[in-house]
Structure formats: C-alpha cells, structure tokens
A and B are shown apart, each in its own frame.
Chain A
C-alpha cells in the first residue's frame, strides 16, 4: 500500500471513518485458539459479553462461530463458559497444533 504524503492528510489528524479499526486484524496475536463445542453450549452468551475483542459472533441472539480474524486468544471466554453439565463449550487449543 502506498503511504500517504502530507497533502493527503485530513486537517487536524481527524479520523473520518468511524470504526475503521475493523480493518485491522488482530487474529495473528493468538497463541491459543478457542474452539467452540456446540453440543455443550447453552447459549448463555457469557462468552460474547465478556470477550474484550468482540470476537464471538452472534446472530439473532444466538452465538455462532468465533471471529478468528480478531480473537487474540486470551481465554476469557473459555474460563467463563459454564457449558453443559460441567462440560465446557469452549476449549483453548494451542495454535498450529
């Protein structure tokens, strides 16, 4: 990508596009990947509300897949997931394994 020159910049370094960070992927930060085990999921959405990176996708009030473009692999979702009958619906797996 060609870097901007001084004439290309908006006055006052104002960012004119709200939410432009959504174009900056942080998934590569991850050392561990959360894996969703759907059959153990009770759809409590704790993973969604507690995820600091808005990396749990929800559709019509239901949790779907992780957004691996942004998940940093912190493991909060896995720790907070109550799962079903003592069985977690999220497991952290080392990347590359």
Chain B
C-alpha cells in the first residue's frame, strides 16, 4: 500500500537523497528532489542534466543519491534517461529483469528550456516511460545567473543586466509546460515546493500514467533572485498566490487548475523581496512593472479559460 501523503508517515520513509550535498544554503532544488523521491513508491533511476543540482550532489567520491543516478552532459538528461529506460524495457522483455522500475530526469531551466529542449522534445514524443522534472529557478544559476528562456520579464541577470538603457530582460518566459503538453503526452503539470502535497500528488499521478510525463517546478534560488536564504518556500508560495506560477495539470489534454489562491495577490508581493527586480522600482520603469502584471493576468485568464472549456 502506498504511504499516506501525511508528513508523519512520509517521515518514516528512508530518505533516498541524503544530506552532505553541497547546494547553497536555502536552495529550493534539494527540497524538490526530496519531495519527489518521498512521493515515489517504486524503485527509481534518475538522470540529471549538468547544473547546480548535478555538480553539488555528486562530486568526487561523494554522491547524495541513494538511488541509481546518471549524469552525462548538459543538454541531454532526457536522451540519456531514454537510453536507460530502453535498456530496462529490453532486459524486461528478455526476462532478465523483473521489477517495476520508474525513471525520473532532473534538469534546471537552462538544461530544459534551452539547451536540452530538443532532447526533451524527442524523449517526450517517443513516449519513454519517465517523468522529466524541471527545477526552474529562472536563469543559468550554476554559471552565475545568466539569462535563460525561463528568466522572467524584468529580471536583472548577468547577461541581460539592468542598465541605464535596458531594464533587464524584455521578453516574457517561454511557456514550457504547455509546450510539453502539446507533445500529446499523458501528463504535464506545474508544481511548487511550498505546496508539498500538491507536488507529491502530481508525482504519484505521473508515475501511474504510462509514457512520458513532464513536471515543471518553481525552484527559488536566493543567490540569483537576490533574496534571503530563508525565503525559498515563502517566495514559491507567493509565486503561486500571485498566479505568477499557477499550479495546474494537463492530463490527456485536459487542463485543471489544482490550486486557486483564495485571494490573487498582486505580482508586486512576489517581486518586491527579490533583488533581481529592484531596478523596476526606479522611476521610468513603471511601464515594465505594468507589463509584467498584465502578462501574469493574461496567462492566468487563459489558464482559467482552458479549464472552463475543458481543453
């Protein structure tokens, strides 16, 4: 029987992702990995794209992973894992392995939205039995906060620095969750570590659906977001409650919002505590703040409409 999704019962499970990893203090990503593995009730093999999570959890002779884990390069976690999964299928077919094994890939937004986009798209289209989980911290944080296609509009990064002429990133984010859903995969969803139960339910649901699944999880980074070390959970909660990062799922093409904030907070509540948006509060940048709020409102309205029409 599956472990009930209560913290009390979950806390009795063996942690398959150990302490002693070297992620920065207060990083959101390890908490996400912990939650994903706690929710998983099967033997599981993980692949990891090059990035913060990878370099900090498997270095020299120290690995934080108590499950089989593989990293090969930056742009190919999905392809690498599709190889592992295919070997599993081959050996199972030949009667050389009998267990039911699940497969999870982890990649940051650089390794997922950008350089790993093709390999991810290929693996999703082929329908390998895996969950690809993006921990989206909105920039290339491992190399020092460079802009990615997941960087939010208005953000200051080291490659689109807020200067006297250009106020940070001018383009909105790529909507990767929807793009993945459009691969006709059984399940694509967005989650946040603040809403641990929602996240774990999504992981469980994804494991039960055969084929390729995609989960996009917001992952606060206090270094890149220029926030405090203690606010990863608070900020991810604000991302949800401002509808900057709505929690929803697209199952077999049907959109469902899994959590609607009681009161939709202004986007300002999410961006104010983050130094990467500091420049937006200088005179002259009001238009950008307005555009950012409008983008969030528009996307949220589209999502609600999609849910309503059952598509």
* Residues in A lying within 8 Å of B, measured CB to CB: 15, 17-26, 29-30, 44-46, 48-55, 58, 60-61, 67, 69-70, 72-76, 78-80, 92
Q: Say yes or no: A48-B18 contact (C-beta < 8 A), given A21-B62, A24-B62.
A: no
Say which residue of B11, B20, B229 sits within 8 Å of A45 (CB atoms). Answer: B11
Smallest Cβ distance from A84 to chain B, in angstroms? 17
A46 contact set on B, CB distance < 8 A: 7
Q: What CA separation (Å) do A70 and B68 show in the bound complex?
A: 23
Contact partner of A54 among B8, B17, B26, CB < 8 A?
B17
20 residue pairs bridging A and B, Cβ less than 8 Å apart? A19-B16, A20-B61, A21-B18, A21-B21, A22-B18, A23-B20, A25-B20, A26-B20, A44-B7, A46-B7, A49-B10, A49-B34, A51-B31, A52-B26, A54-B30, A60-B12, A76-B26, A76-B231, A78-B230, A92-B230
Docked pose: A4 CA to B26 CA in angstroms? 33
Q: List 4 other contacts, CB 8 Å, given A22-B64, A74-B230, A75-B26.
A: A21-B20, A49-B35, A50-B196, A79-B230
Interface residues on B, range: 35 or more
* CA A26 to CA B57, docked complex, whole Å: 12
How far apart sit A17 and B25, CA to CA, in the bound complex (Å)?
A: 25
Set B35, B63, B233: member contacting A18, Cβ < 8 A? B63
Complex: chain B residue closest to A61, CB-CB: B8
How many A-B contacts if CB must be within 8 Å? 126
A44 to B63, CA, bound (A): 30
Chain B residues within an 8 Å CB radius of A45:
7-8, 11
Q: How far apart are the CA atoms of A76 and B229 in the complex, in Å?
A: 7
Whether A23 contacts B65 by the Cβ 8 Å rule is no
Evaluate whether A19 and B34 lie within 8 angstroms (CB atoms) in the complex, with A26-B22, A48-B7, A78-B230 already known: no
A50–B31 CB distance below 8 A: yes
Q: Nearest 9 CB-CB pairs, A to B?
A: A75-B230, A74-B26, A21-B20, A72-B25, A70-B19, A45-B7, A19-B66, A21-B64, A74-B25
Whether a CB of chain A sits under 8 angstroms from the CB of B133 is: no
C-alpha gap A58/B12 in the complex (Å): 8
Q: Which residues of A contact B34 (CB under 8 A)?
A: 49, 52, 54
